[in-house]
Chains A and B, each alone.
Chain A
Amino acid sequence: MGASLGGTQAVQKLLGALSPPFALPIVLVLHRHRDSDARLVDVLQRASALRVVEATDKQPLEPATVYVAPPDYHVLIDGEHLALSVDDPVLYARPSIDVLFESATVHGRRVIAVVLTGGSADGARGSAAIESNGGLILAQSPSEAMSADMPKAAIAATAHAEVLDLDSIASRLLQLARTNGAESK
């Protein structure tokens, strides 16, 4: 899941709607300032019945958990674990949504990519890669998003992105979680 400008509120609303027995692991990249502290995790935890933690290196992906990328690191999916990296920012972002999404492509059809409000094209290339590998793209409706650039870029880069408002994204995720064991990025 990736977001930027306006993302905290959007993610709070979305996580708030994902109630148990929703059990998919979620890896979240919210663009954040490099000196940003742990309060973001607290804010999101208060909004959610899922477990919200800051991602650490080699952390295993567990059900019903939201892993939030720390500031100034990239987060990658490495098999069934997370991997952190301090490689250069991509599109000026570290954490980068594209870096996360591209690493997730190894999981093919098990991946659901969610692209929310944001002011850059981060996530577009990664969404295209996920889609090419059989994964599903859910983009926040540009008219609802506080900043439409990010979902618009993802929609333009893909062929079959589902364009939904936040409530519908939540319902769709709940539905997908019920039908199969997938991973939500």
Chain B
Amino acid sequence: MKAVPERQSNAAKHALAAADAPQVMAVLECVYERTGMDFRQYAFASIRRRVHVCMHDEGLDSAEQLFESVRTNDAAMQRLLSVLTLPVTAMFRDPQFFAEFRDLVVPLLRTHPYLRLWVAGCSTGQEVYSLAIMLHEEGLYERSRIYATDVQARSLEQAKDAIFPVGAMQDYTRNYQAAGGRAAFSDYYTADSQSAILRPFLKRNVVFGIHNLVTDRSFNEFQVIFCRNVMIYFAAQLQARAHTLLYDSLATLGYLGLGRGETVRFSPHEERYESVSPRERLYRKIG
């Protein structure tokens, strides 16, 4: 026998949820006004979902209740912020991407005496260190400088620490191997029962800095830019702006790497890139 009253109240909740766009926007306005973090032009379906996750975590029934909560309560606002800016990454995530980068791009990078690479939206750093490991194995690390930026100071601190839960190492090892790793992934970290710390030499040529793809300008010119699974959270207009920023920061014949589900198609600079790999999102700037 189904619990009808319970389902009715769930039903009421669900019905409310779908119609709550104005209330969700009100929450985002409040976040902007109180913290300066601007999510108003983020992809609405994703940001709405994260607002709902926060509502659920707080035991609230509506975006309106969440609004009331974060409007006056600093701790609640911080909790909301940490849900809205959830970092998600892994070492050698999408190993095929790294494998193709190694095979198709690295040989051409060898012609440069000096390399500048930018990981835009580096989150907690896994992608930065994946790139560092690959460059090291290909004998290119000494001539490289990797710029690792993110909008979140807290993520950057974690990225600088290069400490990861030891439980993740098995996945990371598999990814590393699938990406064409030439050594053993365990060569790159030391571990205790809780944590794995990446070897300090991997940080030597990495520069960490805060940078906001939404509001900041180009700050250098790079031979390689990775901006993977960051712009999926931007709505179309913001995404176009970010694409322009990346394009302006890329040297001619430089390489742009995007996430698997992303593309330069429909972006303002589509015509000025050629696809390097049919499957992985690797592009070369040709104009």
B-binding residues in A (CB < 8 A): 35, 37-38, 55-58, 70, 72-73, 76-79, 83-88, 99, 102-103, 105-106, 108, 128-129, 131-133, 156-157, 159
- Closest Cβ–Cβ distance, residue B232 to chain A (whole Å): 5
* CB pair A87 B46 closer than 8 Å: yes
* CB pair A77 B10 closer than 8 Å: no
Number of interface residues of B (CB under 8 A): 40
Residue numbers in B under 8 Å from A157 (CB-CB): 7
* CB pair B15 A102 closer than 8 Å: no
- Closest Cβ–Cβ distance, residue A17 to chain B (whole Å): 29
Residue numbers in A under 8 Å from B239 (CB-CB): 58
* CB pair A79 B232 closer than 8 Å: no
A-binding residues in B (CB < 8 A): 2, 7, 10-12, 14-15, 17-18, 21, 43-46, 48-50, 52-53, 86, 88-89, 93-96, 178, 229, 231-233, 236, 239, 259-263, 266, 279
Residue numbers in A under 8 Å from B236 (CB-CB): 58
A78 to B44, CA, bound (A): 7
Instruction: List the 10 shortest-distance A-B pairs measured between CB atoms, nearest first.
Output: A78-B45, A132-B14, A132-B11, A105-B18, A76-B45, A84-B261, A129-B14, A86-B88, A57-B232, A83-B45
* CB pair B11 A99 closer than 8 Å: no
Residue numbers in A under 8 Å from B96 (CB-CB): 35, 37
* CB pair A88 B15 closer than 8 Å: no
* CB pair A99 B49 closer than 8 Å: yes
- Closest Cβ–Cβ distance, residue A88 to chain B (whole Å): 7
- Closest Cβ–Cβ distance, residue A22 to chain B (whole Å): 26
Residue numbers in B under 8 Å from A72 (CB-CB): 93-94, 260
Residue numbers in B under 8 Å from A108 (CB-CB): 18
Residue numbers in A under 8 Å from B10 (CB-CB): 128, 132
Q: Which residue of A lies closest to B89 (CB)?
A: A86
- Closest Cβ–Cβ distance, residue B122 to chain A (whole Å): 14
Q: Which residue of B lies closest to A90 (CB)?
A: B53
* CB pair B2 A76 closer than 8 Å: no
* CB pair A57 B261 closer than 8 Å: yes
* CB pair A85 B232 closer than 8 Å: yes
* CB pair A128 B11 closer than 8 Å: yes
* CB pair B11 A78 closer than 8 Å: no
